[in-house]
Amino acid sequence: MATQEFITHSAEETVALGRTLAGMLNPPKLVLLRGDLGAGKTTLVKGIAEGFQAASAEDVTSPTFTLIHEYRGPRANLYHIDLYRIDTPRQLETLGLDDLISHDSILLIEWGEKFARFERERDVEIALERVDDRVKQQFFESASATGPESRPELIEENVRRITITAP
């Protein structure tokens, strides 16, 4: 299993990484997006959608309440799917995700790890983790030891560790 790790320092860098990843994702693909709320999953999808010329970053939004957003590009149809509010296999079945799988589709599934099926069927897993909280904690520990003027440049917003795993 091949694994790559990236660190991004802003939403813009996360979008840019998504554009790069688009060049590595050839349809058909089932991609699991793992990460806590606010980890940057939708931000990464913005770049992937741009990379596939399926949507601009501004047009990509979280499918938290609609559950599925579709973006059509010349090379692939992207389906950004959010299963956060889906709790049972019956609820999952009503979404008809099997109907979305085709030779030119890429399914980008948030919270897919809730269902063993996607763990088995995934082609790629992308895990996003916010690390800026740890950077801030280190800053505040350092500042309390040496004074408030200590190295404010250590505070970085939107720092993310992004790990991509593919069999």
What's the Cα-to-Cα distance from 121 to each of 36, 103, 109, rounded to whole Å? 21, 15, 12
Q: How far apart are CA 156 and CA 134, in angstroms?
A: 10
Tens of pLDDT, residues 113-160: 999 999 999 999 999 998 865 444 444 444 444 444 444 444 456 788
Whole-model pTM: value is 0.84
Tens of pLDDT, residues 94-115: 999 999 999 999 999 999 999 9
Comparing C-alpha atoms, which of 53, 115, 51, 54 is closest to residue 82? 115
CATH number of the domain to which 151 belongs: 3.40.50.300
Q: What is the number of domains present in the chain?
A: 1
Which token pair is 103?
A: 């030779």
For residue 7, give its domain range: 2-166
Cis peptide before 28 (omega within 30 of 0): yes
